[in-house]
Amino acid sequence: MASPSLSPLSLEKKPSASSNAKSSIARAQSPRHGRKTLANFLGGATSGCISTLLLQPLDVIKTRMQMSSAFNRSVNLQQALSIQSNTGVWRTFRTIVAQDSIAGLWRGVVPTFVRNSLGVGLYFVTLSSITSFAAKRDSRSQDGALSNRVALFAGAFSRSFAVCMLCPLSVVKTRMETIEYANKYSGVLNALASIARKEGPRGLFAGLVPAIVRDAPYSALYMLIYLRTKQHIGALVGIKDNRSKINNSSPSNASSLPEPPNKGLLMSVNFVSGAFGGGLATLLTQPQDVIKTRMQLTQRHIKGANRYGTVRESARRIFAEEGMYGFFRGSSARVLKRMLGSALTWMLYEELVTYYQRMLKSKTLLIEEKPVEETKVAAVQKKTR
């Protein structure tokens, strides 16, 4: 019997049911992933903005406390406020208010606002992407919890990436927090242009190395301490499913899940965990912060700039002139700011991500349903004609 002839069309491979299912799942997951990324960015940026506005005075006090008289002499900086060395948080606060008014506590708030908003948003987007990828690849992360290794890497890499991208804004922020430098610049863009013109790339990226050496260990330690503290405290107070996850919301069902009955308790656990993790990680990274601040306050085109030109030279000079205490100047203000800032940021972030996911999903559903409704109306009108 002769074999049947095969046409070119009969040789084409027809898609199987499983491949159709996979492609449908991929199409469905793509907008979900986009909504999750956008919700993470918006949640991180919003929480960062709120904590920045509330805690800027502590940042100004910390920067002022790190400007010792020995440092001012080394870089030929004429001190505008008469604050004695080794002054505490409360006395520094009173001096700034008395000599620079209440508004002086919010010096540098604009570059701080811009940097923190972008930085927190970039941090959480990168953090969410890494942890989502790790949950698929790491066998120990399959249940949604993060292993210690993944938590350390995710925190360190996410913070380092944000620090590198926003270092010029960090330099402007540090300088505009002091009355000595703030009067030299009319705004953020003017400060960036002036530093770029007079000091070049070295001025714009001053303090980058100590900032990375500070923030990468800080974020790695903080992520690990925060997640483990949250997990253990949650178990002690009886909160179920409080594992080591970045947030407990799911983008696929964020709009359909009811509000948890223990929402207030969960927010309290997030606040305490964030405060404890932020405070402990801050103390361990304080020397890097002092070096970073002094390198950023040193203008590269003036006499004495080489005294704080490198990390090694800065550390040597601080130890020679002020001893070990010099590496921990401003630690009380920074610990307080980090504890409150970390607690507020994480508490607000976890709630805001859930809110933004629900909002974005509801808008997406409205957009998807609108063409369907229009098609139905058109069909009804066609029948009535």
Q: Cα 299 to the chain's mean position, in Å? A: 27
The share of the chain scoring above pLDDT 70, in percent, equals: 76
Structural domain tally of the chain?
Answer: 1
pLDDT band at 253 (very low <50, low <70, confident <90, very high): very low
Cβ-based burial of 306 (10 A; exposed 0-12, middle 13-18, buried ≥19): exposed
What lies within 8 Å, CB to CB, of 44 at 6+ separation is 120, 121, 122, 123, 124, 125, 345, 349
Q: Is residue 349 part of a domain?
A: yes
Query: Within a 10 A sphere around the Cβ of 234, how many other Cβ atoms?
Result: 21
Q: Which residue has the tokens 């009355």?
A: 179
Asked if residue 4 is part of any domain, the answer here is no
- Give the tens place of pLDDT for each residue, 120-170: 778 878 888 887 777 777 655 555 566 777 777 887 888 889 999 999 999
Q: Where are the alpha helices (DSSP H) in the chain?
A: 8-11, 17-65, 69-74, 89-100, 109-137, 148-165, 167-176, 179-182, 188-204, 208-237, 263-284, 286-296, 311-322, 331-384
Which residue, 65, 302, 110, 310, is CA-closest to 205? 310
- The domain spanning residue 234 has which CATH number? 1.50.40.10
Q: Which residues contact 115 (CB under 8 A, 6 or more apart)?
A: 166, 169, 170, 173
Q: Which helix (H) or strand (E) holds 89?
A: helix 89-100
- Give how far Cα 272 sits from Cα of 54, 106, 304, 340, 373, Å: 18, 26, 44, 10, 48
Measuring CA to CA, which residue among 145, 153, 154, 339 is closest to residue 242?
Answer: 145
Q: What is the pLDDT of residues 13-44, one digit of tens each?
A: 444 544 444 444 444 455 566 777 788 778 87
The H or E element spanning position 16 is: none
Instruction: Give mean pLDDT, residues 173-185.
Output: 91
Kindly report the number of other CB atoms within 10 A of residue 233's CB atom. Answer: 17
Q: Quick one: pLDDT band at residue 260, thresholds 50, 70, 90? A: low
Inter-residue contact 248 to 328 (CB < 8 Å): no
Q: Which domain holds residue 281?
A: 32-76+95-249+261-362
Element (H, E) at 217: helix 208-237
Instruction: Please tell me the distance from the alpha carbon of residue 281 to that of residue 211, in angstroms, as a whole number.
Output: 14
| Alpha-helix runs per DSSP H in 138-182 | 148-165, 167-176, 179-182
pLDDT in tens, 48-100: 778 888 999 999 999 999 998 889 888 888 888 888 777 889 999 999 999 99
CA nearest 77: which of 270, 307, 241, 318?
307
Listed range (214-223, 286-295, 348-357) with the worst mean pLDDT = 214-223
Q: How many residues does the chain have?
A: 385
Gap between the Cα atoms of 52 and 159, Å rounded: 17
pLDDT tens digits for range 204-227: 999 999 999 998 788 778 778 888
Q: Are 178 and 110 in contact (CB under 8 A)?
A: no
**Is residue 193 a part of any domain in this protein?**
yes
Task: Report if residue 13 sits inside a domain.
Answer: no
In a domain, 214, yes or no: yes
The Cα 253–Cα 45 span in angstroms is: 23
Token output for 154? 């995710």
**319-346: per-residue pLDDT in tens?**
999 999 999 999 999 989 888 887 787 7
Query: Could you identify the residue written with the tokens 């620079």?
Result: 100
Residue 230 has pLDDT above 90, yes or no: no
Output the six-digit token pair for 359. Answer: 């909002």
* Residue 321 lies inside a defined structural domain of this protein: yes
Give the C-alpha separation, 44 to 39, whole Å.
Answer: 8
Q: ∠ CA 252-258-260 to the nearest 5 degrees?
A: 110
User: Does residue 322 lie in a domain region?
Assistant: yes
Query: Helix, strand, coil: what percent of the chain each, to 5?
Result: 75, 0, 25
The total of other beta-carbon atoms located within 10 Å of residue 13's CB is 6
The answer as to whether 372 is a domain residue is no
Query: Over 50: is that where the pLDDT of 1 sits?
Result: no
Average pLDDT over residues 242-253: 47
Answer yes or no: pTM beyond 0.75.
no
The string of pLDDT tens digits covering residues 295-325 is: 999 987 676 567 888 999 999 999 999 999 9
